[in-house]
Amino acid sequence: MGKRKQPFGYKMEFGDIVPEPEEAEAVRSIYLRYLAGASFNALAESLQEQGLPYDGDKPWNKNMVARILEDKRYAGTDKFPSLITEEQFLAVQERRKQMTPERIQTPAQKELRKLCGGSPPQYVESQVLGILNRLIHDPQLIAASISDVADSPIYQRQRRELDDLLRSPPVDEEQAKSSALTLASFMLTSIGPEEYETCRLQRLFRGRQPMKELDAELLRQSVRKITYSDKDVKILLKNNQWMEGGTQA
């Protein structure tokens, strides 16, 4: 169980924070060896072999080493006695920047992160690209459950009324027009939002060229959510249709 109350390298003595001799020496060694070229993993393995605990019975790992190397208190801040010099601390931070260059995200990758709710693994981007390219190739894969308007009793009654008017000469044009408008209005109001979105998405993908990399605007306009697990990727289109692995889910 973890029981550390002070940073590794320090202890409380008569109400004051003072160096813990063995741990303080390990901190100095970590900084010196890192500046000499040692990796986080190599330092963790060496510390584990020494048998000097970091926090209770927890084994050393690279994250523990990283925390020590980024903690400015070792240079003598916030009432902590210095175990290293300010120059050593700054030199370590510079080396860490060189070892982990900043990753520049494209607009599409930023949008992908929003849709995933966090930074996704690299395979997610390539699979989403494949799914969207499949929709570009065949927009008819985008489909929603269409309301069965023709089977509605109201529709059938209005349809019969219109047919009767058209079969009864002379045709009352005004009444036929009114009946046709009523029928059209019923059909229009029977169409759900998923069907509108389906038509919009089909138009959005139709006529596009296959993408070599993700397009941020296409993601924003077409995708509501992305999920992934064990390298299986699913996207939820804005018509509430799930697509998986480049095929219809």
Q: Read off the pLDDT of residues 213-247 as tens digits, 9 standing for 90 and up.
A: 999 999 999 999 999 987 889 999 999 899 987 44
Domain ranges (residues) in the chain: 10-99, 106-143+197-249, 148-190
Report whether 180 contacts 158 (CB < 8 A): no
pLDDT for residue 16: 93
pLDDT for residue 249: 42
pLDDT above 90 covers a percentage of the chain that reads 58
Q: How many CA atoms lie within 13 A of 184 on its CB side?
A: 6
End-to-end Cα distance, the chain: 46
More confident site: 118 or 212:
212
Q: In terms of DSSP bridges, do strands 16-19 and 232-237 run parallel, antiparallel, or are they unpaired?
A: unpaired
The pTM is what? 0.45
pLDDT for residue 223: 96
Q: What separation in angstroms does the CA of 54 have from each of 47, 102, 117?
A: 9, 29, 33
Report whether 205 contacts 238 (CB < 8 A): no
pLDDT above 70 covers a percentage of the chain that reads 88
pLDDT for residue 234: 94
Average pLDDT, rounded, for the chain: 86
Strand partners, 18: 11
CB atoms within 10 A of CB 108: 20
Report whether 180 contacts 162 (CB < 8 A): yes
Q: What gap in Å lies between CA 44 and CA 59, rounded to an integer?
A: 9
Q: Which fold has domain 10-99?
A: Hect, E3 ligase catalytic domain fold (3.90.1750)
Q: Is the pLDDT of residue 102 over 80?
A: no
Q: Read off the pLDDT of residues 140-150 as tens digits, 9 standing for 90 and up.
A: 999 865 455 55
